Amino acid sequence: MDFTVNILALGIPFSVALLLASLGEMFNQRAGVFNLGCEGIMAMGAFLGMLVPYGAGHGAPVPGTFNVLGLLLAMAVGALLGLLFGLAVVTFRAPQGIAGIGLQMFGVGTAGTLFRHFVGGTQSVPGIDRLPIPVLSDIPFIGPVLFSHNPLVYLTFLLVPAAWYILFRTPWGLRVRASGANPRAADSVGIRVNLVRFQALAVGGALAGLAGAYLSLCQVKMFSDEIIAGRGFIAVALVYFGHWRPLKITGGALLFSFAQALQLAIQGQGIDFPYEFAVMLPYALVIVVLAFSRESLLLGPTALGKPFNREMRT
């Protein structure tokens, strides 16, 4: 019982960074752009997120406003990087996979370089603390699992239905889905496909930036240039797990993180097999689960990865 509560209570905060980034990537891909550079944007977000409170008061406790500023800066620059990516793949029609790898290198490298210059050595910040919700957090089981987390955790899980609503119930979501599924059709009724794609990239970038900042400000509350450690790629993979649907993506992120928490807990309890196999668990589990959940891909963005231009027919 206690064990279960712990796993669940741990898995949820673990999932947030992945979830935010995946939702961002989902918007990119729904609009038809495949952004493998997520990792790089997260790195920049993580760095800038902690830079503000750090700069404000070298490590000393600082008022929360600086943290909020950090989050905002991370999102802003994330959006900016998204637009930069758009310039390459939407305007100049660069192949998206390779450009994504370029963006990933650029983001991770830049974050690391600037970090070395402005901060140096692995650096911790006070960050944003847990905020147990007064009454609710005392409810047995539910309380610790759902209501004793970091504010950003609540925010993220509120973002899931929001993302669903935006994607399926607002004009913008409609435009995004059309631009990713059949850009010509969208264009023929006056939707500016490439503009929509830029917007989606900005949103996706902002979310990826926020994901990074969550890591550096909320989860570990410190930064070093290796902070993202491949989470960006996992986030991209989770979009495929969720077939571009917010709820299924959330399911994937949670599945992964619960498996993570479980695996770590089991290691702690003592295992008589090499720990590497425990570490593999989350990665393997995601593949297996997806393999047995059949899906019609018809609902996905059919024009994913294809640049759009009215005149060019190929």
Partner 1 sequence: RPNAAEAAGGAVKIALIIESTVDDKGWCQAMHDGILQAQKELPGRIEYSYSEKMKPVDAGSAVLQYVSQGYHIIIGHGAQYKNLMLEMAEEYPDVTFAFGTSAEIGPENVFTYMPQSEETGYLSGLIAGMTTKKNTVGLVGPVDGGDAARYNRGFVLGVQAVNPKAKIMVAHTGSFADFVKAGEVAETQIKAGADVLTGSSQQALGALRAVADHRDAPIWWVGQDIAQIRITEGYKCIAASSYNYGAVIVSLVAKLDAGVRGGECIPLNFSNGGFVFAFNETLKNMYTGAVEQKVNETLEKFLATPDTLDWSAVDYSKL
Partner 2 sequence: MEPNTGKITSLRVEHITKRFPGVLACSDISLSVGEGEVLALVGENGAGKTTLMNILMGLYRPDEGRILINGEETVFRSPGDAFAAGLGMVHQQYMLVANMTVLENIALGYTRAWSPLALDLDMVRARIDEISRKYGLAVDPDAYVWQLSVGEQQRVELVKTLCLGARFLILDEPTSALTPQETDELILLLRKMTRELSIIFISHKLQEVKNLSDKVVILRRGEVVFEGSTADHSSDDIAALMTGREIHLPRNEAPECEGKPALDIRGLKVRSDRGFLAVDGLDLSVCAGEIVGLAGVSGNGQRELAEAINGLREVEEGEILFFGRNIADHSPRDVIDAGMGYIPEERNTEGIVPSFSMKENFILKDAGSPRFSARSFLKLEEIDRNADRLRTEFDIRSPDTDAAAGSLSGGNIQKVILAREISRMPRFLVAVYPTRGLDMGAAEFIHRRLLEKRMEGIGILLISEELEEILDLSDRIAVIFKGRIIGTLDRRTADSRKIGILMAGVRNDEAV
Partner 3 sequence: MTKQFKILYRTVLILLAVAAAMLAGALILWTIGADVTKTYSVIIFEPLKNKIQIGEVIIRAIPLTVIALGISVAYRSGIINIGAEGQMAMGIIAATAVALAFPGLPKAVLLPLALTAGAIGGAAWGFIPGLLKAKLHVSELLSTVMLNYIAAQFYTFCLRGPMLDPAEITMGSGTPQSMRLTKAIWLDRLVPGTRIHTGVYIALFLAFTVWLLLWRTSWGYRMRAAGAGERAARYGGIGVAGCLVAAMVISGAFAGLAGAVEVAGVHRRAIEGITGGYGFSGIVVALFGGLHPAGIIPASFFFGLLIVGADMTQRMAGVPANMVLVLQGIIILVIVATRMVLANPYLEDRVRRRYCRLTDRGREE
Ligand X SMILES: Nc1ncnc2c1ncn2[C@@H]1O[C@H](COP(=O)(O)OP(=O)(O)OP(=O)(O)O)[C@@H](O)[C@H]1O
Please give the residue ranges that form the binding site for partner 2 (CB under 8 A): 169-172, 174-175, 177-178, 181-182, 184-192, 298-300, 302, 310-311, 314
DSSP letter for each residue of 191-232: --HHHHHHHHHHHHHHHHHHHHHIIIIIIS-EE-TTSSTTHH
Which C-beta is closer to partner 2: that of 123 or that of 182?
Answer: 182
**311 touching ligand X, by CB under 6 A:** yes
**Which residues have a Cβ under 8 Å from the Cβ of 208 and sit 6 or more positions away?**
20, 21, 24, 25, 38, 41, 42, 45, 78, 82, 232, 235
In 10 A of CB 61, how many CB atoms? 9
By CB under 8 A, the count of residues binding partner 3 is 55
Residues of this chain, 57-116, that bind partner 1 according to CB under 8 A: 59, 116
Residues of this chain, 226-285, that bind partner 3 according to CB under 8 A: 230, 233-234, 236-238, 240-241, 274, 276-277, 279-280, 283-284
Q: CB of residue 308 vs ligand X: minimum separation in angstroms? A: 13
Which C-beta is closer to partner 2: that of 178 or that of 237?
Answer: 178
Question: What's the CA gap between 212 and 190, in Å, rounded?
Answer: 36
**306 touching ligand X, by CB under 6 A:** no
Which C-beta is closer to partner 3: that of 41 or that of 146?
Answer: 41
Question: What's the CA gap between 189 and 2, in Å, rounded?
Answer: 57
Q: CB of residue 263 vs partner 1: minimum separation in angstroms? A: 9
Q: Considering only residues 118, 226, 247, 288, which one is a binding residue for partner 1 as defined by CB under 8 A? A: 226
Site string for ligand X, 253-292 (x = CB under 6 A): ----------------------------------------
Give me the phi and psi of 134, to 5 degrees please.
-30, -85
Dihedral over Cα of 82, 85, 87, 92: its sign: negative
**Which residues have a Cβ under 8 Å from the Cβ of 37 and sit 6 or more positions away?**
81, 85, 99, 100, 101, 102, 103, 104, 106, 107, 232
Site string for partner 3, 294-313 (x = CB under 8 A): xx-x---------x-x-xx-
Partner from partner 2, partner 3, partner 1, none contacting 141, C-beta within 5 to 8 A by type:
none
Per the CB < 8 A criterion, the answer to whether 216 and 73 are in contact is no
**215 touching partner 1, by CB under 8 A:** yes
Question: What's the CA gap between 74 and 210, in Å, rounded?
Answer: 6
Question: What's the CA gap between 278 and 264, in Å, rounded?
Answer: 8
**66 touching partner 3, by CB under 8 A:** no
**15 touching partner 1, by CB under 8 A:** no
> Which residues lie near partner 1 (CB under 8 A)?
6, 9-10, 14, 59, 116, 120-122, 124, 129, 215, 219-222, 224-227, 229, 231, 260-261, 264-265, 267-273, 275-276, 279
Contact set with ligand X (CB under 6 A): 311-314
